[in-house]
Amino acid sequence: MAHTSDSPRACELPDEDATVALAQRLADLVCGRLPAIASAGGRIHLRGELGAGKTSLARALLRASGVTGRIKSPSYALLESYNVSNLQFYHFDFYRFSDAHEWRDAGFGELLDAQAVVLIEWPEQAGTRLPPPDLDIFLEYAGTGRRAWLNARSEKGQRWLTYLNPPHP
Ligand SMILES: Nc1ncnc2c1ncn2[C@@H]1O[C@H](COP(=O)(O)OP(=O)(O)OP(=O)(O)O)[C@@H](O)[C@H]1O
Ligand SMILES: [Mg+2]
């Protein structure tokens, strides 16, 4: 794949504050708050075993994007959606996904095409239905904290990584 970066970037997340800090920077990107990357929207896959911190990261990103009120894990409903200042946010969790009809009937495919912020936990459970994301985040346990591996899968994702991890002068 043309835009797949061969070397994922590691981001140490020793505690939940570090996860929130990463989420805040991602929120700036997906909300189009940075002059350099002004187009809002984008798709992020969140992978990693149970409890690795996928929902924590998604929740902090949604909060930093301006979502107020309760942010539920979509582990039962498959999808929770939000709207902030005319930007649509879709938070999926495909852990329990099994039914191909459900996919079609729910119109998930159309949501993925929209100009929106799409966060997907357990994307591997959706089989081949999903297009590649802009950014793939793999979370793993690291001592009492976590480590995130960030991998760009599109040109937009590459620009995000440049912002998140600027090359040292
Ligand atoms: N950087 C971190 N360091 C330590 N603990 C963390 C960190 N980030 C999140 N946690 C904690 O780890 C747990 C992660 O739970 P979370 O529901 O986010 O996992 P998940 O990957 O979504 O799991 P699932 O696959 O079941 O949906 C929470 O208890 C959270 O407080
Ligand atoms: Mg989760």
Is position 24 within any domain?
yes
pTM of the predicted model as reported, rounded to 2 decimal places: 0.93
Is position 1 within any domain?
no
Measured in angstroms, how far is the CA atom of residue 56 from the centroid of ligand 1?
A: 5
Domain that holds residue 49: 9-164
The predicted model gives 31-35 an average pLDDT of 90
102 CA to centre of own chain: 22
Name the residue at shortest CA distance from atom 29 of ligand 1: 51
The predicted model gives 78-103 an average pLDDT of 89
- Residue ranges in the chain assigned as alpha helix (H): 16-30, 54-64, 100-106, 108-113, 155-164
Average pLDDT, the chain: 90
Beta bridge partners of residue 28, listed in sequence order: none
The predicted model gives 118-147 an average pLDDT of 94
Measured in angstroms, how far is the CA atom of residue 92 from the centroid of ligand 2?
A: 9
Is position 2 within any domain?
no
pLDDT for 167 = 56
Return the CATH number at 107.
3.40.50.300
Measured in angstroms, how far is the CA atom of residue 55 from the centroid of ligand 1?
A: 7
Which ligand sits nearest to residue 57's alpha carbon? 1
Q: Strand 87-93 relative to strand 145-152: parallel, antiparallel, unpaired? A: unpaired
Beta strands in the chain (DSSP E): 9-13, 42-47, 79-84, 87-93, 117-121, 135-142, 145-152
Is position 91 within any domain?
yes
Is position 48 within any domain?
yes
Per the structure, how many domains does the chain have?
Answer: 1
